Structure 1
Amino acid sequence: MDSYLSALMSGGDFAQHFTEDVLWTTIESGEQIVGREAVRNFIGSMHTTLFDAHPVLKDLVVGEGLVAGEFDFAGTNTGDYEGVAATGQELRIPYVVFYDVTESGISALRAYLPITKIMAVFRAT
Structure 2
Amino acid sequence: MVVVTGAGTGHGTNTIEGKIMTRSLNELIETFYRGFSGDTALFDDVVTPDWDDIPLGPDQAPGRDGIKPLVTAINRAFADFKIVVHTIVDGRADNGNGLVAVRAEICGTHDGDWFGVPATGQQVRIRIHEFHEVIDGRMVRTWHLEDWLGWFQQVGAWPTVGNEEK
Same fold (TM over 0.5): yes
Greater share of strand residues, 1 or 2? 1
Cα distance in 1 for partners of 2:91, 2:121 equals 39
Structure 1 length normalisation: TM-score? 0.77
> Aligned letter for 1:85?
P
Q: After TM superposition, which residue ranges in structure 1, 4 or more long, deviate above 4 angstroms?
A: none
1:9 aligns with 2:34: yes
Runs of 5+ unmatched residues, structure 2: 1-24, 93-97, 159-166
Distance 1:32 1:23, change over 3 A: farther
Cα distance in 2 for partners of 1:111, 1:3 equals 17
Runs of 5+ unmatched residues, structure 1: none
Larger radius of gyration between Structure 1 and Structure 2: 2
What is the identity percentage for the equivalent residue pairs of Structure 1 and Structure 2? 23
Q: CA deviation at 1:76?
A: 0.6
Cα distance in 1 for partners of 2:50, 2:133 equals 12
Aligned residues: 121
Distance 1:7 1:101, change over 3 A: closer
Distance 1:7 1:67, change over 3 A: closer
Cα distance in 2 for partners of 1:66, 1:72 equals 19
Ranked by relative contact order (alpha carbons within 8 Å, sequence separation 6 or more), the top structure is: 1
1:77 aligns with 2:110: yes
What SS is found at the alignment partner of 2:34? helix
